[in-house]
Amino acid sequence: MINFNYETDFSLESEEEISNWILNTVSEETYKIEEINYVFCDDEYLHKLNVEFLNHDTLTDIISFDYSIGKLIQGDIFISIERVKDNAKDFSVSFKEELNRVIIHGILHYCGYKDKTDEDATVMREKENHYLKQLD
């Protein structure tokens, strides 16, 4: 089950389309979803979580809490709409593209992909691009 929650003045245009895309991504990666909760929020909300739970006093676009067991995905993904908007401008892409990239980025972490090293980040970006093409 995929749930979308809104803690800011924003809502997805098509929750069903995004849900199906996420389910297809997870299936292609040979995982299954137990429950994913997306929470769309603002910088203040996400910053508070970042400080409280991760001890990081910085702004970020996404924080995910992974409760997965084996190939069964469970987790909470918090996304700052303000950060996504700013990043879209910085990267010269549409808000929608950047939002979808962040949405799938969290899922790819749950599927075992990392992004701490340059090599891992390259693989992550390739996977993001692969799945973003499936939404077009």
How many angstroms separate the CA atoms of 36 and 26, rounded?
Answer: 11
What are the b/e assignments for 36-54, b being 16+ CB within 10 Å? Answer: bebbbbebebbbebbeeee
Closest CA to 67 of 35, 103, 27, 41: 35
- Cα angle: 48, vertex 35, 42; to 5 degrees: 25
Is 115 known to sit in a ligand binding site? Answer: yes
Angle 15-28/95-110 helices, nearest 10 degrees?
A: 40
State the binding site.
105, 109, 115
State the binding site for Zn(2+).
105, 109, 115
